[in-house]
Structure formats: structure tokens, C-alpha cells
Structure 1
């Protein structure tokens, strides 16, 4: 039952991307998360303005309570998975910057993925093709288990 609930949660987040380190409005200023995100897509991800204007979002919001010491992430739920993937694939433009974007998963899945990252990096250092899909690490197309390492 828990696995089914986790799967349903993950499915409800499948069109979401999380964007981080995007500057927030100064105290007292009104902030529109959607316009901030659209500007970010054009200026930092180098996406065409016409394309970004046409994108449809179900919802865009900032996660957490306002805190002077921390920039809160923005979650965007795309109407079309195809548009989400287009944005996700543009993430390489953020290399060597403080900005980031990633897929959104339930906490349990995120924790499992986080534990797989060291093995992912090790596999890539060894020259293997490696990636994480949902909560599984694949090395050269084979699901990773500690026993096949």
C-alpha cells in the first residue's frame, strides 16, 4: 500500500521541475513567481523568448517560508510533459553557475536517489554510461545492485 501511495505521489509530480537559487524580490516588493521563472528561462537557460511566452503552466509557486538567509526554490508544474523535458534538457546552460533545476520527487524517492549519486559518479569515472531513472541507478544499461558491483 505504501509503494502504491508513493507511486501516485510521484505521478502527480511528473510534470514538475524545481528551480533553485533564483533571486527573490526584496522585502516589500510584490513577487510574481511565473514572471520570475519565465525571465529565468530566457536569460539563464537561453531559451527563445517566443517559446517561453507560449509555455503553459498549471501552477508555479515558491516553496517554504520567506527567510532572509535562504533563497527558496520555485516549483513549476508544466501543462505539457514535452515542454518540461525541453526545459530540463536545457539545464546544461546552468553549468558553472549557482543556479540549478531538477525533477521533483516525493521525499522518500529523493532520499533514495541521493544515496545513489556517489555510485553514479564512480561509474562515470570508470568510463561507464550511468544514469538514475526514478529510484534506480543504471550502469551500462543494467540496474545497479550492490551485488553486481
Structure 2
């Protein structure tokens, strides 16, 4: 009986060891499988991220292209405000526009110079603005430059901006008003606010003054000062030429304005001294 119990204990011990081995193997397999799955998922996520970045870049480029195309398509447009909706047909609307421009801008347009005319928004109680597209940019510029002639009238014209640009310009107007109250120059150009600060020194004197240098190498004081006129420049040049011809010694101006030689042993210097004494 004792031997049977020992055998059973031995079998139980072996079973426990096998169970522990199986559990450890299962854990190792689970870890390995999890690691492999994570690697695969990381690779797939990396590929998806690259595709997403590429799509995002393409979308951004497409938005830029659409933005540019929309800006170009509106470049030859003007928007007229306050013009009554009395037109009964497109031809009548075209005639009204030509008559309006001729009356206030003194520009006579032909039918070939107007590409399109259309009202903006839904018809209601208020008079809708009207957009005019010209066939050439030059025609639009000629008219838009004279927009101040409508200052004391019920009409005014503006450029044709996309909706998001109009919203941005509305925000910039508040900032422009603040800058103008500070005394600065401020204006809006398309979707940018241009500011020029009003400096305290408004004299506008941009004259440069030459720096003065110590007269270490200029004992006569001829080369000192800020500016030298042409006459002094000519005299200085002549004096330098005369002094350079006396190659035997270095000359400097004396007390009475005569030239004396620093080298007393020079025969030419002695001859000059004799002439001066006479």
C-alpha cells in the first residue's frame, strides 16, 4: 500500500511539473504571439500613417490650388452696391451697367468688354449687390481706381472676395481701427493687414555725417572734419603731389606756412633755406 501511495505521489508531482511547464509554454507562446501581432499592427499603422500624411499633403495642395483658382476667377470682378433691381432681362441688366459706368466713370464699354453680370443672394426686400465680370483685368482696374467718384452718391463698389476672405477682412477691420487710433498707417490688402508705425522722429532727415577721426596721422588738420568741398580736395591733392616730388625727406608745414625739410643734411634742403632767407 505504501508503494502505491509513493507511486501516486510521484505521478502527482510529475503532473504538477508538466502542468507548470505547459503554463510557462503557454505564457511564452502568448507573449510571442502578442509581440508578433504588435509588430504587424505597427507596420500596418505606419503604412496607414504614411498614406494619411500623403493624403493630407495632397488635400492641402488641392486646397491651395482651389484657393488660387478662385482668387484668379474673381480677379476681374467688381461688386456694385446700391444699384436698383430694375432690370427685366440680362440684356437690360447689361445696358444698365454700361449706362451706370458711363455716367459716373466716363468710360464707355462695349458688349465685348463685359463677360458676365449677376446678382448676389436671394431676391428680397433689400437691393442685392451685383457682380460684374470684365473680359480684361485692365478694364476692371480702370474702373476700380476711380471708385472715389461715388463718394457722395448712394452707390459704392468693392472687389469680389470669397466668403472666408470677407470674414477675415471683417476681423482685420477692428485691428486696423485700433492701429489708426494710435496714429499708425494701417490698411487691408486682400487678407493681410499692412501697418507702418508712426515714428516719433518724422523729420525724415536721412543725411549721413562722416565720423571724425583723431589727427594722429594728420598734424595739419586738413583731413579732419565731416565734409570737404571740391576746392579743398583739389588743393589737398596739389599739395600732396608737390610734397611727393621731394623724395629726399618727409615734409611738414612750418609756422609761417613754408615747407621745411626734416633732414638738415640734404643739399636740396640747404638750397631751399638759402632761397627763403633771400
Deviates more, 1:8-17 or 1:127-136: 127-136
Deviation track 1:95-138 (CA, whole Å, cap 9, x = no partner) reads 13331211111111111111111222333344433222221010
Q: Is the 8 A contact 2:105 2:149 kept in 1?
A: no
**If the length of structure 2 is used for normalisation, what is the TM-score?**
0.44
Gaps of 5+ in 1: 142-149
- Equivalent residues of 2:98, 2:108 under 8 A apart: yes
Q: After TM superposition, list the pairs within 5 Å mapping 1:103-114 onto structure 2.
A: 103-114=159-170
Q: Please state if 1:71 is matched with 2:127.
A: yes
CA contact (8 A) 2:102 2:109 kept: no
**Inter-CA distance 122–89: structure 2 relative to 1 (3 Å threshold):** farther
Corresponding residue for residue 56 of structure 1: 113
| Pairing partner for 1:8 from 69, 73, 84 | 69
Aligned length in residues: 133
Structure holding more strand per residue = 1
Seen in structure 2, the aligned counterparts of structure 1 residues 124 and 95 have a Cα distance that, compared at 3 Å, is farther
State the match for 1:17 in structure 2: 78
**1:107-126, aligned counterparts within 5 Å?**
107-126=163-182
User: Higher relative CO (CA 8 A, sep ≥ 6), structure 1 or 2?
Assistant: 1
The offset of 1:6, in angstroms, is: 2.0
Structure 2 CA distance for aligned equivalents of residues 116 and 93 of structure 1 = 26
1:33/1:74 contact within 8 Å kept:
no
Q: Aligned ranges for residues 6-45 of structure 1 at < 5 Å? A: 6-25=67-86, 30-31=88-89, 32-43=92-103
Mapping of residues 125-136 of structure 1, within 5 Å: 125-136=181-192
Once the two structures are TM-superposed, the CA of residue 52 in structure 1 deviates from its matched residue by 2.1
CA distance in 1: counterparts of 2:99 and 2:181, whole angstroms: 36
Aligned to 1:53, the other structure's residue is in SS state coil
Any gaps of 5 or more consecutive residues in structure 2? Answer: 1-59, 198-278
Q: Compare CA radii of gyration and give the structure with the larger one.
A: 2
Measure, in 1, the Cα distance between the counterparts of 2:100 and 2:144.
13
Shift of 1:87: 0.9
Q: Distance in 2 between matches of 1:33 and 1:117?
A: 33
Q: What is the root-mean-square deviation of aligned Cα atoms in Å?
A: 2.1
CA distance 1:35–1:126, shift in 2 (3 Å): farther
Structure 2: how far apart are the matches of 1:39 and 1:7? 33
